[in-house]
Structure 1
Amino acid sequence: MAIPTIYEQLGSRFKSEWLNKPTLLRHYEHIDAIKAAITATSNQRTQLSDSGVHSPKGIAEQIRVKAAKDLVPILKRAAEHTDRTKSAIDQRRKNLTTPKIDPIDSVAEMQRAEIRANLKSLSAGDRIAAATKDPRVADAYLSAPAFLSGSNETERAQIDDRVAKQFHGDALQEIDAERGAIAVLDAVIGVGLTDLRKVTDFENSPQQFDEWMHSVSVPSRTFSANEPGILRPSDIGPRTAASYERTIHDH
């Protein structure tokens, strides 16, 4: 396997400016850990094979022991880290345009209702323009169902996107950067899982690989007992270079 090539190719997509931000650098640390573990496991397999002492079955058994100890936990931690980060990013993005409403301020709610009534009489283009010019209008629109402003969910999504760019541009750029960094890590996890199948001689035995992963992927000590403890291929999902390419082009 040409181990370094694909990892270095994907790693090069991790922008240099991301490495200067601690919040993004932590994602790259997982990339480095996966690359190092895959390389070490592959090198050990080569050494065992070159020694001429072990049978193919014996080599596979030894490599599976090493992978279970050194590689699977690293992939598991990276996958859990990625999934948690994605959820956190989605929440941060949602919070950008979610109005902070005081439920006991009835006067403010009456004002928002009046704004929505005025928006209802406007065309879609004028509603979008009004919401992106005045944060008070944006809050009134986004704090209630779209139909109360004479709108629909498609238009609401457009307004939400434009409001985020207009009033929260810096925060939105940070979110997009983190999504890009996570997309790279996601792809590396997918490649790592593919290489794990190869190096453990499960490449043509997906069911046996799944069973082996279930048996060796014990709960990580770095995560609470309430979090998933078993790493299966289905948990990692479609983390492949192809899915990475689709994701990265969105950012």
Structure 2
Amino acid sequence: MINSDSKFPGKDRSDKGKWVGPWMPRWRDPGDKGPFTTLRQLYSDVQDAAEGLKAKRDALKQSGKYTDAGIADKLKEVARAETIPGIRTAAAEQVRKYRLEIESRRAAMKPFDHDPKDIVSEMRRQEVRAWLRTMKPDERTNAVRRASDPFIVEAAISVPAELSGLLPSTRDDLAQKLIEQRYGGELEALNELDQAVQTVERAVDGARDDVREALGMREHDFNAEFRDVEDEIDRLAEIRASKPQPKIDFDSVMSSVKALNVDEQEQLLNTIKLEQKRADDRAFRDEIARLSGKAA
């Protein structure tokens, strides 16, 4: 892996040269937790999963105990039970969560706010649009782009392009500039998060390709072999994301937790983490067994 001696390990390309991109030093959180910290760990973990399978392949070859066919079968077992789930779960849950968050926050960014009860302002906007429609197309575009009063821009883009006389591309460009002016640093931070998410998404794709190469499989055969595993991981992730959370009496829980000493609190936390992992593992194994026709 490149950058193995730095804080930002990872491969910027898959084994076959597919671009992944390096983890950028500026992608970091103010503290020890946050989206960049989580994504950086995923970036490393998904690539390590593929590297682990290749190390397993090399170890099997060096043992001299297996034929090529035997090695292939062993690697497929590991890929199905460990490697593919490790890579796919990252994409299905964490990366998907941040992707949806980015899209949601962008959708909430508006170039301006209108008060539907402010009739006077709406009449003024109509007057501006009527004035713009008296101009030739080029004059109209220049008038809006060079307007010293942002109200003129707002009036022009607050309606469909057909009503203002602007080209749709011009309207979209002006709206985006207003959003950039209005949200500034927030939008810049969101764009950085988006770039980090895209890098992890490419890392997932690259790791998947590396696994396929390690197994010596063509893409069509690889998809046919492991599609059921990937689809099931996606399905379970969708269920977990949409499942309503039960109401918890946090005051009562916290009272009980505070009554524990420090060692007991740490033991409780570790037990909760272990039980959650066991539950996820059981659900996954049961479903894979069902898909494989091995369920009781």
> What TM-score, normalized by structure 1, do the two folds share?
0.74
Q: How far apart in 2 are the matches of 1:102 and 1:226?
A: 38
- Number of residues of Structure 1 aligned to a counterpart in Structure 2: 221
The equivalent of 1:224 in structure 2 is 238
How far residue 5 of structure 1 moved from its aligned partner, in angstroms, is 4.1
The equivalent of 2:27 in structure 1 is 18
Q: Is 1:75 aligned with 2:108?
A: no
- Residue in structure 2 matching 1:97, options 100, 110, 116: 110
The equivalent of 1:243 in structure 2 is none
Partner SS, residue 65 of structure 1:
helix
Task: For structure 2, list consecutive stretches of 5 or more residues without a partner in the other structure.
Answer: 4-9, 14-19, 242-296
Partner SS, residue 96 of structure 1:
coil
Q: Is 1:164 aligned with 2:176?
A: no
CA contact (8 A) 1:89 1:175 kept: yes
Q: How far apart in 1 are the matches of 2:198 and 2:212?
A: 22
Alpha-carbon spacing, 1:56–1:162, altered in 2? closer, same or farther (3 Å): same
Q: Deviations over 1:36-80 (max 9, x none)?
A: 211222111111111000121221122112112222123223333
Q: Which amino acid aligns with 1:161?
A: Q
- Residue in structure 1 matching 2:216, options 201, 205, 216: 201
With 170-179 and 72-81 compared, the bigger mean Cα shift is at 72-81
- Residue in structure 1 matching 2:163, options 137, 148, 151: 148
- Match runs of 1:236-247 below 5 Å: none
Q: Deviations over 1:141-192 (max 9, x none)?
A: 3321123222111111221232233332212211221222122112212211
Q: Is 1:43 aligned with 2:59?
A: no
Q: Deviations over 1:79-136 (max 9, x none)?
A: 3344554454344334323433344443443233233334444621220222xx5444
Alpha-carbon spacing, 1:220–1:166, altered in 2? closer, same or farther (3 Å): closer
Alpha-carbon spacing, 1:114–1:210, altered in 2? closer, same or farther (3 Å): same
What percentage of aligned pairs have identical amino acids? Answer: 21
- Residue in structure 2 matching 1:128, options 138, 145, 151: 145
CA contact (8 A) 1:27 1:182 kept: yes
Alpha-carbon spacing, 1:92–1:98, altered in 2? closer, same or farther (3 Å): farther
Q: How far apart in 2 are the matches of 1:220 and 1:183?
A: 19
> What TM-score, normalized by structure 2, do the two folds share?
0.64
Task: For structure 1, list consecutive stretches of 5 or more residues without a partner in the other structure.
Answer: 228-251
Q: Deviations over 1:191-228 (max 9, x none)?
A: 111111112231x3x3221111123222358623387x
Alpha-carbon spacing, 1:160–1:32, altered in 2? closer, same or farther (3 Å): same
Alpha-carbon spacing, 1:66–1:13, altered in 2? closer, same or farther (3 Å): same
Q: How far apart in 1 are the matches of 2:149 and 2:36?
A: 33
How far residue 27 of structure 1 moved from its aligned partner, in angstroms, is 1.9
The equivalent of 2:263 in structure 1 is none
Q: Which amino acid aligns with 2:45?
A: A
Q: How far apart in 1 are the matches of 2:43 and 2:68?
A: 30
The equivalent of 1:111 in structure 2 is 124
